[in-house]
Amino acid sequence: MSPSVATGANDVPSNEALPLSLPGEALGRDAQGRPVLIGCVCKSCGNRMFPVVPVCSVCMSEEIEPEHMPREGTLYSFTFVHIGPAAWAKPFALGYIDLSNGVRVFSHLRGLSLRIDETVELAAAEIGRNPDGTEIATFVFQPVPA
């Protein structure tokens, strides 16, 4: 863990091998096995979106093609949540990340020491445990180590 990330309840060590599950085809792995968000691009107007949608929100075209999203972005806004689903580790952070391709993603954030406009990267992390003890894992964005 980098020194810029504080230790806290939601600072679960990143484990790129965690089983990730999201509805549809929103998450995949790149050639190096790292998690990658799968969004889309409108072939008519070039608008990019996450997750994949059937119709472009700008021009209403149905000519949509899946596309890997950038793995790094800039933290636009965030908040800390202290009361939430029983299965989730608390406190946890949620925020918006601006990707370099113009897409804004809402995501769990890893770390309790976050700053607006800092560079963050995509990772996989456990965010809690189900009542049966199975882990709940998803994508998160975390500060890029200095």
Which amino acid does the sequence have at 81? V
pLDDT score, position 45: 98
Per residue in 59-100, pLDDT (tens digit) is: 999 999 999 999 999 999 999 999 999 999 999 999 999 999
Give the domain extent around 136. 27-143
Hey, what are 1's tokens? 């863990």
Domain-located, residue 19: no
Lowest mean pLDDT among 10-19, 44-53, 54-63, 108-117: 10-19
Residue 70 lies in a domain: yes
The answer to whether position 33 is within a domain reads yes
Contacts of 53 (CB under 8 A, 6+ apart): 40, 64
Q: What is the reported pTM?
A: 0.80
Tell me, yes or no, whether 22 lies in a domain: no
As for how many domains the chain has, the answer is 1
Task: Work out the angle at residue 79's Cα, subtended by the Cα atoms of residues 76 and 81, and round it to the nearest 5 degrees.
Answer: 150
